[in-house]
Amino acid sequence: MLKKTVVADIIRNNIFFPAIVIISMSCARVGTPTGGPADSAPPVVRKCEPANRSIMFDSKNFEIYCDEFLQLKNPSTELIVSPPLKEKPEIILKGKSIKVKLLEKLQPNTTYTFNFGDAITDLHEGNPLKNFEYVVSTGTTIDSFTLTGIVTECFTLNIPKECVYILLHENLEDTAFRRSIPNFVGRTDEYGAFAIRNLKKDTFRLYALVDANSNLMFDQPTEKIGFADSILFIDESYYVPPTDTTTKTDSIMADTSAKDNETELIGYGTGNAYPDTAVRQQLQKNSKELILFLQEPKSDQYLKDYTRPEAGRLRVVFNETLADTLSFALLDTIVESKWFVIEPCGTLDTFDLWLLDSFLIKNEKIKMEFLYEKTDSNNYPYIFHDTLAFNYTFPKQQKQKKHKFADTTVVKKPRLVPVTNYPTGADIELSTKFNFITKTPVLNFDSTRFQLFKAEDSIETPVPFVIQRRIIESKDTFADLRRFELHCEWQENTSYKLIVLPHAFTDIYGLTNDTIIYKNKTRKLENYGTLYIDIQNISEPIIVQLLSTGFDVLTERHLISDEEISFEYLKPAEYKLKIIVDSNQNRKWDTGDFDQKRQPEKVIIYSEPIKIRANWDVELTWILR
């Protein structure tokens, strides 16, 4: 086979660094072009009263004057004040100016930043004056330390679609995040980047929050959060020098280029506001990365649903994996022999009870008591008793006509017909198994009733294989009652004949299969490509996942040390690679827990899509750091 070699040294943080220097403090917005030439320039600030970056500020309001008529868009949500105010300021539009009334007294010796996001736009085209900031100090100096960083989704490493607030708390206790507003606040832009400016020298806890109820506190179970592991020390290393443009904006004679530069100052690198390479490097050096996750709610175990989809099948569904053994008993009914077979699902939150007793199956109402573990208000476990009624409405039977002569028609006994992923004529993929699934649980399974032949030129040659129940790995490992897998070392471009003899499957009701014959052919090897990956510098257990471009997991490998692995028989397409650092070795990804100070398990995504071509090998070296 032809070979293509690609060597990649993946450093996870490098994926994000280009975004960190493109910072504007607002959430993503999408504009709709109207066609034809249009004014795309935002309004220009001509002056502010009192002047922007004033000290000893004691006014109850301030005004911003622009060069054209304005409109306001969502000012109550776009305006962010840092430190936050208890009472939102009143914003009044006055033609080409905006007046902001402060409804509470500002704290002494404090620098305040009023970030208007996309609230200020021109009247006709709606071009926003992005992230204009009005900065004042009630003391003798303006604080000039700046914190920058980026926020990414924990499992996909994507930029969050929601607006994420960045919170700084002087109170270092964990309860502050849940019970009090922060001392300083910022928000992410469309790149997931953030910058909080005009900070004082102090010690903080750093958090990220998708604020569902707009109170700047983590108090809703549906709120996504992120947090820094360590305490943040804001010191001289976070200093960002002011530029000359910050003083020009208070002059009516300031030119347009100066205004543009001040707007670009918000982005720290989107223009020429900071041509000093040393300053940019310092901003990157201190940048923080926050991983956004949804904490699993610590909810009580409860019964989510119960149904009777068939006369002989009862289903109970719990809200999460059952904590302990499920117990149940019939009420108002006495059955002498075993009357059920229980079939759990792989996640152990859903259970099917297949009825064996014909009296129960014909009964329209079955009353039962279920016992399962719950926790009380003090988080102590106890056994909860739940009474359920399973009802089933039988279809009405049509009345049979009477015949003059005796009906000699022989009624055939129902047969068990398994369904397979490869019916006769379907091409077999070399990487897959021959699977069977039955409608009802199989009580007796006889693997000797299967015969597999290679059929070439009218000659049938027996082929070795293994067929067994599918094994489900969950909290416990158990065999599936209705699914079976046939494993075989398939040869390419080869015809096969599989014979399933009678009584290979016998279900819980005694139904069995007739003879079934499948005739199939495998695909050619040249139709596939192979991916070889040499993974180096593995320091703890990892899960290597091969993904589709839509991030569906196709297959995975579990590794504990450096190893070269391969994904064979891949169809020509583009694929992605993901690594999960399986810190707790439970063979799955786990989200974070703020109360236990546990971050989500780390995810590393290969930066480039991997193109697989037919009859080609692709070799990668992935060095983890």
The domain defined by 303-391 folds into: Immunoglobulin-like (2.60.40)
The rounded distance, in Å, linking the Cα atoms of 142 and 153 is: 34
* pLDDT tens readout for residues 116-132: 999 999 998 899 999 99
Average pLDDT (16-44) is 50
Q: What is the structure's pLDDT at 297?
A: 72
- Sign of the Cα torsion 243, 245, 246, 248 reads positive
Q: Same topology for domains 45-137 and 527-623, yes or no?
A: yes
Tokens of 235: 């010191």
Percentage of the chain surpassing pLDDT 70?
A: 83
Average pLDDT (524-543) is 97
Cross-strand bridge partners of residue 482: none
Best mean pLDDT range from 348-352, 426-430, 472-476:
426-430
* 308 band by pLDDT with thresholds 50, 70 and 90: very high
229-234 — which CB contacts under 8 Å span 24+ positions?
229/597, 229/599, 231/172, 231/203, 231/204, 231/205, 232/147, 232/168, 232/203, 232/204, 232/205, 232/206, 232/288, 233/203, 234/145, 234/147, 234/199, 234/200, 234/201, 234/202, 234/203, 234/204
Q: How many CA atoms lie within 13 A of 372 on its CB side?
A: 22
Q: What is the structure's pLDDT at 408?
A: 55
Q: What is the structure's pLDDT at 28?
A: 37
The domain defined by 419-523 folds into: Immunoglobulin-like (2.60.40)
pLDDT at 269 over 90: no
Strand 477-487 to strand 603-605: parallel, antiparallel, or no bridges (unpaired)?
unpaired
* pLDDT tens readout for residues 42-84: 999 999 999 999 999 999 999 999 999 999 999 999 999 999 9
Contacts of 18 (CB under 8 A, 6+ apart): none
Give the domain ranges of the chain.
Answer: 45-137, 303-391, 419-523, 527-623
Cross-strand bridge partners of residue 616: 2
* pLDDT tens readout for residues 318-351: 988 887 778 999 998 888 789 999 999 877 889 9
* 15 band by pLDDT with thresholds 50, 70 and 90: very low
* 264 band by pLDDT with thresholds 50, 70 and 90: very low
* 140 band by pLDDT with thresholds 50, 70 and 90: very high
* 390 band by pLDDT with thresholds 50, 70 and 90: very high
Asked if 84 and 182 touch (Cβ cutoff 8 Å), the reply is yes
The rounded distance, in Å, linking the Cα atoms of 330 and 327 is: 11
Going from the C-alpha of 394 to that of each of 308, 310, 411, 503, the distances in angstroms are: 12, 9, 22, 30
pLDDT at 569 over 60: yes
Average pLDDT (501-515) is 97
pLDDT at 256 over 60: no
The domain defined by 527-623 folds into: Immunoglobulin-like (2.60.40)
The domain defined by 45-137 folds into: Immunoglobulin-like (2.60.40)
pLDDT at 157 over 80: yes
Asked if 569 and 589 touch (Cβ cutoff 8 Å), the reply is no
The rounded distance, in Å, linking the Cα atoms of 621 and 5 is: 9
The residue among 272 and 561 whose pLDDT is bigger is 561
The rounded distance, in Å, linking the Cα atoms of 423 and 435 is: 10
The rounded distance, in Å, linking the Cα atoms of 535 and 560 is: 11
Q: What is the structure's pLDDT at 280?
A: 56
* 407 band by pLDDT with thresholds 50, 70 and 90: low
Which helix (H) or strand (E) segment is 435 a member of? strand 434-437
What value does the mean pLDDT of the chain take? 86
Average pLDDT (504-508) is 97
pLDDT at 416 over 80: yes
Compute φ and ψ for 316, nearest 5 degrees.
-125, 135
The residue among 362 and 249 whose pLDDT is bigger is 362
* pLDDT tens readout for residues 170-229: 999 999 999 999 999 999 999 999 999 999 999 999 999 999 999 999 999 899 999 999
* pLDDT tens readout for residues 87-126: 999 999 999 999 999 999 999 999 999 999 999 999 988 9
Question: What is residue 391's three-state secondary structure?
Answer: strand
* 412 band by pLDDT with thresholds 50, 70 and 90: low
Which helix (H) or strand (E) segment is 380 a member of? none
**For tokens 């279809």, what's the residue?**
395
Average pLDDT (461-475) is 89
The residue among 6 and 360 whose pLDDT is bigger is 360
Q: What is the structure's pLDDT at 335?
A: 86
